[in-house]
Amino acid sequence: MAAGNICDNGAHLPYGETGMGTYGANLGANCDRSSVLFQTSDFLKLAKDVPFPDKTLVYNIGDYGTADGAASMRLIRKLIESLKEHHGSDVQFQIIYEDQEVNDFNSLFRRLSGLISEPPSYLQDIENVFALASGTHFYKQCVPADSMHIIYSGVAVHWLSGKPPVNKDDIFSFPNTNDDARYMLEKQASEDWEKFLILRSRELKKGGLLVVSTGTNCTTSSGETKITVGNFLSVLNTVWKTFCDMGKISQHELHNTNMAFCDKSLTLLKAPFEDPDSNVSKSNLRLLSAKQVFVSCKMYKEWRQRKEEAGVDDRFEFARRLVSAHRCWSNSAFLTGLSGTRSKDEKELIVNELYAEVEEVIRNRNPDDFKDENLFCYAFIIKD
């Protein structure tokens, strides 16, 4: 999950010390999903098909919802290398990193410059490539019209444009969530998805490519619904509701910490393209393909491998890594959702206690419950 693009009633606050690359060192390092694009699609072939007749001009690539740039670094490197091979080594590339205005751009540029060494920056060994940032959330136009050849957004469009509809039962919309609450959330998610697409249509050149990956959910043949990071969210939800029951937080704070995101189904993603009268269809965007892909969890695979090969069942380290990774994207919901009458120190104390309790619960559970084989959607869209 990228850092987030919430733009109403408080931005998503990055977790960790500014400039230290916390996102990339935790979530980015353990959940690099961008590499799946090379295994599941003709992404590089589609990129080469984007019109670029005048090689003296600049080729523009956008990374939307970038966080600190770690998750997409290898993807962008491979994309640039492929396009240089296709268009010529002298072609100039401009990479525009988009995220909300309070994003940790300090870590992004430290990573690009090589001050944060992992993953290695393409700027260190590929010539004629220039990196810029747009501190504008993606529910607004971020770059000039008709300027972008390729826009990539990796695990970011699940974030809503503002506060979610109130769910009085849980912080997140689980499979057993009240139908009315789920309907209102999906309605807002659908409207935000269409808004995102129309804005990207303005920014893309004719023939430009938009690639989006996002967390999703599905119903298996047994009737089970699988949710991205579902088991972690379940523990997070249970502990936070216990805090409410104990009086550590109020009922209002529980409602105010509803997660401002919605996992999107393939049906929701495809809907605006299947209606010829929709504003998205009229914007000349066309869906080339969309597919669901399971992505395994590096943390779980390494725990399992160490247990099987060395006989070491280190559940403490597994729990620490899992919580550190997913705190990067979830921490802000609790910190900003607590009452404004609380001091900054009091808020941080409560939230620190929350994640400490969650880590304790996970330590005492079988890591098999948290193997985090997540389901993602990958959509490939072109502007006609």
- For residue 81, what are the domain limits? 22-227+259-296+373-383
Q: How confident is the model at residue 220 (pLDDT cuts 50, 70, 90)?
A: very low
Domain for residue 127, yes or no? Answer: yes
Which amino acid belongs to residue 48? Answer: K
Q: What's the pLDDT tens digit per position in 30-51? A: 555 555 665 555 789 999 999 9
Report CA 274 to chain centroid distance, whole Å. 25
Domain for residue 364, yes or no? Answer: no
Q: What is the mean pLDDT of the chain?
A: 88
Q: Are 15 and 111 in contact (CB under 8 A)?
A: no
Report the alpha-carbon distance of residue 143 to residue 140 in Å, rounded: 9
Domain for residue 167, yes or no? Answer: yes
Any idea what the CATH number is for the domain that residue 282 is in? 3.40.50.150
Domain for residue 341, yes or no? Answer: no
Segment 136-142 mean pLDDT: 95
- Residue 265: per-residue pLDDT: 85
Statement: residue 189 has pLDDT above 70: yes
Q: CA-CA distances (angstroms) from residue 313 to 108, 309, 318, 367? A: 35, 10, 9, 10
Domain for residue 338, yes or no? Answer: no
Statement: residue 136 has pLDDT above 90: yes
- Residue 221: per-residue pLDDT: 46
Question: CB-side exposure of 133: number of CA atoms within 13 Å?
Answer: 20
Q: What's the pLDDT tens digit per position in 48-84? A: 999 999 999 999 999 999 999 998 999 999 999 999 9
Tell which wins on pLDDT, 109 or 228.
109
Tell which wins on pLDDT, 199 or 218.
199
- Residue 106: per-residue pLDDT: 94
Q: Could you tell me the pTM of the whole model?
A: 0.91
Q: What's the pLDDT tens digit per position in 287-344? A: 999 988 777 778 888 899 999 999 999 999 999 998 998 898 899 999 999 999 999 9
Looking at the structure of the chain, the number of domains it has is 1
Q: Are 146 and 60 in contact (CB under 8 A)?
A: no
Domain for residue 304, yes or no? Answer: no
Domain for residue 253, yes or no? Answer: no
